[in-house]
Amino acid sequence: MNEDTIRKDCWKVIFDLLKAGVTTVSNRVYANYPVTSITLPLLIVGNPSIRRMPFLSSGGYEVTFVVEICSKTSAGVDTISDLVAKTINGANATLWSNSMYLLEEYDGMSPATYEDVNGNLSHHKIMSFKFRAIR
C-alpha cells in the first residue's frame, strides 16, 4: 500500500472484487449514483474513510467502505447483500495480496423503501466493511 494513494488503491480492490463477484449487477457497480437513468439492481461503492494507526508496529490504516445495494424488491436487496458478503469474505487471497485484512462486516440497516418522482419503488440497504491495510 502506498501512503499517497491508499484511498484509491483500497477502493479499486473492493470495486473490482464486487464487479467481478456479484454477477447479477456486474455491469451496474458504480462509485456514485449514475446521472443518467438508473437500472436496478445496482451497487454503489463509496469512497473509503481512512484512519491512520501509527501505534501498530507495522504501521497501517483502518479502511472502512460503505456499499449501498439498490433493487426493485426487498428480497432482491437481501439476495444481493448475501452475494456482496460472500464475495468479500471469500476474497482473502486477493485482499491479503493487497495488504488488506478484513476486520469487520456490518449489515447496517434493513431495506428502506423509496419512491421516485414517477411513483416507482426501490429498496436500499447499506453495508459496511472495515479492513486493516498495512503499508
The residue ranking higher by pLDDT, 37 or 26, is: 26
Distance of CA 73 to the CA centre of its chain: 20
Helix, strand, coil distribution of the chain in percent, nearest 5: 35, 35, 35
Average pLDDT over all residues of the chain: 87
Confidence (pTM) = 0.89
- pLDDT, tens digit, for every residue of 68-105? 999 998 889 999 999 999 999 999 999 999 999 988 88
- pLDDT, tens digit, for every residue of 106-132? 876 666 788 766 677 888 899 999 998
pLDDT the model gives residue 37 = 76
> In the chain, what are the domain boundaries?
3-133
**3-133 in CATH: which number?**
3.30.2000.30
